[in-house]
Each structure stands twice: as C-alpha cells, then as structure tokens.
C-alpha cells in the first residue's frame, strides 16, 4: 500500500519537473540574493533566466504526452504545455525588460530587486498550475497564487502612491471576486459532491441536475474567471492597476495572468459542462449539456468586453491606461474563440495568444522606453517622436498595427482565425460586432501613430538615442510579429495539435 503510493508519487513527480524546477528556481533566487545580493545586484535576474531555460527544457520534453498525475489533481497535456510555453516566453521577456527598467533601478525597489524576481517566478508557477489543474481546489489555490503574487508586484514601488493605490484596489476587487467564485464552487460541490471536474461532469450526466442552480453557480464562478481575464462586468480594476503598477509588471499581468485565466476557463467549461455522449455533425464541436445557455452567456460577455474596452480606450491620453483598455478589448476578441464551442475556436485562441504575447509586450516595451527618456506616458510626448526616434517609432507602429489586426502582421493572422472560426460556427452577429470593434480600435491606435509622425517636427528637440541592448530587445519582439504574419503555417499547425486536452475529445 505504502510502497505503491511511493511509486505513484515518483511517477507523478517525474511528470511535474517543469513546476518543480520553477519552485527550485524561486527558492534559489531568494537565497542567492540574500547571500550575494550586495555584490552582484542582478543575480536574481540571471538565476531566474537560467531557471526559466531549464524549465523550458523540461516543458519541451513533456510536450505531446497526455496523462494525469497526483491522483487526478493535475494533468499534463498538449493544451497546458502550449500555455506553459506562453508563460515561459513572457516571463523570460519580462525579466529582460526588468533588467533595463528605469522604474526598478531608480526607486527604492532596487533594494528589493531579488524579491521582485521571486514574485515574477511565483506568478509564473501559479500560471503553470492554473493551466493544468483539473480539480476545483487546485484551480482555486493556483488562481490565488497568481493573484497574491500580482497584488504584491502591482504595489512594488512603495513610494509611488499610484502604485500602492493600484495594489489596494487590486486586492479588494480580487478578494471580492474570488469570494463570489468560491461560493459558486460550493454550490457545484453541493450539487455533485465532487470537486474533480471530470467527476463533476460525470455526475451531471448520470444523476441529473437543475439547470437553474447550475447557471447561477456558473455565473458566480465566471466572476472569478472574468476578474482574471478582465472581462467586462469584472474589469474595474484593470485600468487603475495597469496605470499604477510598474510598466514591467503591467506588461506581465496583461499577458501571463490573462492567458492563465483563459487556459483555466476553457478547460473548466469544456470538461464540466459539455456532454460528450452526444456527437454533433461537425468535427471537434462540443455539445453543451442541456438547459444551460453557456454559449449565449459567453457571447454576451465577449461582445460587452470588447465594446466597452474599445470605446473607453478612445478617450485615454495616458498610453499605459489606453493599453489597459485595449487589453480588455483583446480579452473580448479572445472570448470569441470560446463562444464557438469547437476545437477550431480554441486553436484560433491559442494562435491569438502567441500573437498577443509578442505585440502586447512589444507595445509596453516601447511605452517603457519612451517613459524612461521623456519621463511621461502621456500621448503629448509622442508628438514628433517619429523624427526624434525613428527606429522606435517604426517598431511601435508595427506593434500597434498588429494590435489593430492589419496585415501583414501576426495580429492579423490571429484575428483572421478567430473570425473564420466564428463564421464557421455561424455566430454572425458577434463577428459583425468584432469587426466594428476593430474599426473603432483602429482610431485610437492610429492616433498614437499620427502623433508620432504628423506631430510638429519643428519643435527642435534633440534626437533620442537607444543603447544596442534596447534595439536588440525591440528586434526580438518585432521580428516574430512580422515574420509570423507572413509565414504562419507552422504556428497554425502547432496550435491545432495543441488543443488536445486530457481525457477530452
């Protein structure tokens, strides 16, 4: 009995190596920073980078397998592994950003820089766990791990009142919505007596359920997810936190925490509320269990999210705040992939996440560099920037064009697949809303570009120079944005085989 358990445990640990290596790295970061932190300021960053590379190695080795470990608490499958790549890439890029960030260098945060990388890694660990959790306990815990790390990161620059204020609003909204979510979870438990999402599904199918309770608990649970992905009724924290937090943290939250929320949301919906005994005509289509208006709920959420995000973004003059609303809008676009309730939509969502990773991190990087050189994130300082810093302006324009979804960029490919999945599933009205929203978003993205290139060039300010390191980082982000806009077949194939989830068709 005990021996069997030990064998089982070692088996599980073998398939848990990416998470284990992240945990080891974060402990090492804190220890080494304590010992050597005075002599080598950036030791935390380099240990983190090394740890992330090791984790990437284990994650690549894991790709393709599909099994559950730790007695059905956690699964390893292509779907979660795909998201792990996204988290690793974004953590890697963010650590490099942080090495160059003036905010972390010139404030009191420099005395706490080792711990900063610790929290970046703990957030990544939480995101990893969110992607693979199949038990509501694990889902709740890993969501909280991500949340708590991000509360701390958002308030990292203590002397900045904006930063600590952002952090406080984040905690209050976060605690409220996770409270709603856990209430929903308790109702699901009351209905089924189970917390494993496969067992919950089996219980729904075998012993029946009342659709009304199910809908209420689904809406309550969606409050928790909606807060993580900043979908509209739960988006209030987003602009404040994105504006108040250090830029590196904002960029990180906008990619990793959102992707983790989506990864968990889709797995939860697909595993718990889909009747797999029914086969629909279309390949890879899901049949929602009877009486639950799941598609409609998500569709309304998606339409609201993108419309509110885009319309409020028009009025923003602070670039960080504008990008915050734009990231809300993007959550709405990505939700379109969920509305489809087909594997096709999920693969479109995965493609979009890769595109979003490069273009969004790139846009935030440009804002960070401009803020460092000019001391402001206001749209006014972008006037005539095209003449003072031509390279940065062109790169920034590419990111904005990609965020709008205009060819030949990666963002266009992402949107193309999302819209074609929608049209394929005949959800035409949402596709129309999506297209209209893209037109609205064009307005505020192009406003920045217009300011850069058509603003007064005669102001006679001296040109801004960037170090080679800055240019290299910009190139690393801009090349994929353009390259995958043209040469996208491998990405699409990769996404299409990555929709496979453990135990689900």
Partner 1 sequence: MSLFDVAFYVLAFITVGSAIVVVSSRNIIYSAFALLFTFFGVAGLYVLLNADFIAVTQVLIYVGGILVLIIFGVMLTTKVFDVPVKTETLHVGPAIVVTGAIMGTLFGVILKTKWFDILNVQWDGTTKKIGERLMTDFLLPFEVASVVLLVALLGAVIIARRERVKS
Partner 2 sequence: MIPLSWYLFLSLILFTIGVLGVLIRRNAIVIFMCIELMLNSVNLALVGFSSYIGNEIGQMLVFFVLVVAAAEVSVGLAIIIAIFRNRLTVNIDEINLLKW
Residues found near partner 2 in the complex (CB under 8 A):
136-137, 140-141, 144, 147-148, 151-152, 155, 158-159, 161-162, 164-169, 171-172, 174-176, 178-179, 182-183, 185-187, 189-190, 193-195, 236, 239-240, 243-244
Is 176 a binding residue for partner 1 by CB under 8 A? The answer is no
Looking at beta carbons only, is 149 or 327 nearer to partner 1?
149
Q: Does 207 bind partner 1 (CB under 8 A)?
A: no
Question: What are the tokens at 240?
Answer: 């404040």
Q: Measured from the CB atom, is 122 or 437 closer to partner 1?
A: 122
- Per 3-state DSSP, the chain is made up of helix, strand and coil in percentages (nearest 5) of 80, 5, 20
Contact 339, 312 (CB under 8 A): no
Residue 472 binding target from partner 1, partner 2, none, CB below 5 to 8 Å by type: none
Q: Which of partner 2, partner 1, none does residue 55 bind to, with CB < 5 to 8 Å depending on kind?
A: none
We find the least distance from the C-beta atom of residue 22 to partner 2, in angstroms, to be 19
CB of 95 to partner 1, least distance (A): 18
Residues 67-126 that bind partner 1 (CB under 8 A): 70-74, 108, 111-112, 115, 118-119, 122, 125
Give how far the C-alpha of residue 340 lies from the chain's centroid of Cα atoms, to the nearest Å.
20
- As given in the structure block, the two tokens for residue 318 are 């602070």
| Residues in CB range of 185: below 8 A, 6 or more apart | 136, 140, 195, 217, 221
User: Of the candidates 352, 313, 311, 361, which has an alpha carbon nearest to the alpha carbon of residue 334?
Assistant: 352
Q: Kindly report the number of other CB atoms within 10 A of residue 89's CB atom.
A: 19
Applying CB under 8 A, which of residues 142, 310, 393, 402 lies at the interface with partner 1?
142
- As a whole number of angstroms, the longest Cα–Cα distance in the chain is 81
> Would you count residue 210 as binding partner 1 (CB under 8 A)?
yes
Token pair, residue 215, equals 């809908």
Report the relative pairing of strands 74-76 and 67-69 from DSSP bridges: antiparallel
* Contact predicate 84/59, CB 8 Å: yes
Closer residue to partner 1 in complex, CB, 165/378? 165
Closer to partner 1 by CB, 280 or 293: give it.
293
Which of residues 215 and 304 has its CB atom nearest to partner 1 in the complex? Answer: 215
User: Closer to partner 1 at the Cβ: 133 or 451?
Assistant: 133
Q: Which residues within the stretch 12-41 sit at the binding site for partner 1 (CB under 8 A)?
A: 23, 30
Which residues make beta-bridge pairs with 36?
Answer: none
Q: What three-state secondary structure class fits 246?
A: coil
Choose the one of partner 2, partner 1, none that binds residue 378, judging by a C-beta under 5 to 8 angstroms depending on kind.
Answer: none
101's contact among partner 2, partner 1, none, with CB below 5 to 8 A by partner kind, is none
Q: Choosing among partner 1, partner 2, none, which partner's interface includes residue 108 (Cβ < 5 to 8 Å by kind)?
A: partner 1
The alpha carbon torsion through 379, 380, 385, 391 (nearest 10 deg) reads: -20
């Amino acid at each position: 009995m005990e021996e069997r358990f030990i064998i089982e445990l070692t088996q599980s640990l073998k398939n848990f190596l990416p998470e284990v290596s992240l945990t080891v790295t974060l402990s090492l970061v804190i220890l080494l920073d304590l010992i050597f932190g005075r002599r080598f300021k950036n030791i935390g960053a380099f240990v983190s980078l090394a740890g992330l590379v090791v984790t990437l190695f284990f994650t690549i080795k894991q790709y393709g397998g599909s099994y559950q470990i730790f007695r059905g608490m956690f699964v390893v499958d292509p779907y979660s592994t795909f998201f792990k790549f996204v988290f690793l890439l974004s953590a890697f890029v963010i650590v490099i950003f942080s090495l160059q960030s003036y905010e972390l260098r010139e404030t009191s945060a420099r005395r706490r820089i080792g711990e900063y990388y610790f929290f970046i890694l703990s957030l990544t660990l939480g995101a990893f766990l969110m992607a693979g959790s199949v038990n509501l306990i694990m889902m709740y815990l890993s969501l909280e791990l991500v949340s708590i790390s991000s509360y701390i990161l958002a308030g990292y620059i203590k002397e900045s009142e904006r930063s600590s204020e952002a952090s406080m609003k984040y905690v209050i909204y976060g605690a409220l919505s996770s409270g709603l979510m856990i209430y929903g979870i308790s109702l699901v438990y009351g209905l089924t007596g189970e917390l494993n999402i496969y067992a919950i599904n089996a219980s729904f199918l075998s012993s029946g359920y009342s659709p009304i309770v199910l809908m209420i608990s689904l809406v309550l649970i969606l409050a928790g997810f909606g807060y993580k992905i900043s979908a509209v009724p739960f988006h209030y924290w987003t602009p404040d936190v994105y504006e108040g937090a250090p830029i590196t943290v904002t960029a990180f939250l906008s990619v990793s925490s959102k992707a983790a929320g989506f990864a968990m949301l889709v797995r939860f919906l697909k595993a718990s509320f889909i009747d797999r005994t029914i086969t629909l005509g279309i390949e890879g289509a899901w049949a929602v269990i009877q009486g639950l208006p799941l598609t409609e709920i998500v569709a309304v959420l998606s339409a609201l999210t993108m419309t509110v995000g885009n319309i409020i973004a028009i009025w923003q003059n602070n670039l960080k705040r504008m990008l915050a609303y734009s990231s809300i809008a993007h959550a709405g676009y990505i939700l379109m992939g969920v509305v489809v309730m087909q594997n096709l939509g999920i693969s479109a969502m995965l493609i979009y996440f890769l595109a979003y990773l490069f273009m969004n991190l790139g846009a935030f990087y440009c804002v960070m560099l401009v803020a460092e050189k000019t001391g402001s994130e206001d749209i006014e300082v972008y006037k005539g920037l095209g003449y003072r810093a031509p390279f940065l302006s062109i790169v920034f324009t590419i990111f904005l064009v990609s965020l709008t979804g205009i060819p030949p960029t990666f963002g266009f490919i992402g949107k193309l697949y999302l819209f074609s999945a929608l049209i394929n599933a005949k959800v035409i009205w949402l596709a129309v809303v999506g297209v209209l929203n893209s037109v609205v978003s064009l307005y505020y993205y192009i406003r920045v570009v217009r300011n850069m290139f058509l603003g007064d060039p005669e102001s006679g300010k001296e040109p801004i120079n960037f170090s080679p390191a800055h240019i290299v980082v910009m190139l690393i982000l801009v090349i994929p944005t353009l390259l995958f806009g043209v040469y996208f077949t491998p990405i699409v194939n990769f996404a299409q085989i990555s929709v496979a989830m453990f135990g689900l068709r």
